[in-house]
Structure 1
Amino acid sequence: MKIGKIVSVERVPDTDKLLKLSVDFGLRTPELQPTVSDGSLKEEGLQPSVSETEGSPERDVRQVISGIAGFFEDPQVLVNISCPFVTNLEPRKICGLVSEAMIVAAHSKEGVFSVLEPTQGEISLGTKLN
């Protein structure tokens, strides 16, 4: 698990529950690159996301498809929130879109939903959680 910052959010068309998040995990390092032992990324045409501008280091920006749309009247409230994500998952397709991580959140039986945000101090993007 690592801390990531949600940089954009959009609803997935023709679904009620899905949001497409772009999440920044900081600078890309060799340990952050997704690995797939069976080669399924190449076989299915799935490629890990990389954001790079000329002269700047690569950022580890991943697409996350999450079934949390029903909890937000305006999902744009998620933009700029830093929270934990499970990042050591193999990319998989959800409704035809590739998801490269999973958000960590809480949902009570009373219907209360909460994204788990770090509350003390500044935590760098990509920080590993134990």
Structure 2
Amino acid sequence: SPAAAALPVKDIIDYDTFAKADLRVATVLSAECVEGADKLLRLMLDIGEPKPRQVFAGIRKAYDPAALVGRQVVMVANLAPRKMRFGVSEGMILAAGNPDGALFVVAPDSGALPGATVK
């Protein structure tokens, strides 16, 4: 099968820098289109905390919101909150992107619990 076009690898980082990213399994509790934003979906994510996290993700062209509910994704849980005109995004989900613009949300195998750390 054809591979994605070989893009240059970003600057090399050491393990300690990589280890600062807190990657967690999250379950999508709800997903909806963001009015006025053609690329964004508003996701409410369960990572095992008392309150769900709100994350705005630029995956609207790739996913029907209803199809995401109940799915698990991988998120960066310790990314600083980002104020957007639609609200505050409290993390970021991981997605792979092909050169043609196709997007694919990164997900764990079945059995991972919300909040499980990705190592």
Q: How does 1:36-75 map to 2 (within 5 A)?
A: 59-72=50-63, 74-75=64-65
1:79 matched to 2:69: yes
**SS of residue in 2 equivalent to 1:76:** helix
1:55-97 C-alpha deviation (Å, 9 max, x unpaired): xxxx24100011111112x221111111110010111112231
Q: Distance in 2 between matches of 1:12 and 1:115?
A: 18
TM-score norm. by structure 2 comes to 0.75
What is the RMSD computed on CA atoms of the aligned residues?
1.3
Secondary structure of the equivalent of 1:6? Answer: strand
1:65 maps to amino acid: F
Unaligned regions of 5+ residues in structure 2, if any?
1-22
| Post-superposition CA distance 1:14-58 (Å, at most 9, x none) | 1111110000011x3xxxxxxxxxxxxxxxxxxxxxxxxxxxxxx
- Kindly report structure 1 stretches of 4+ aligned residues shifted beyond 2 Å: none
Residue equivalent to 1:105: 95
2-structure distance, mates of 1:8, 1:96: 16
Q: What is the aligned partner in structure 2 of residue 20 from structure 1?
A: 42
Higher RCO (Cα < 8 Å, 6 or more apart): 1
- Unaligned ranges ≥5, structure 1: 29-58
The number of equivalent residue pairs is 97
Matched AA of 1:127 = A
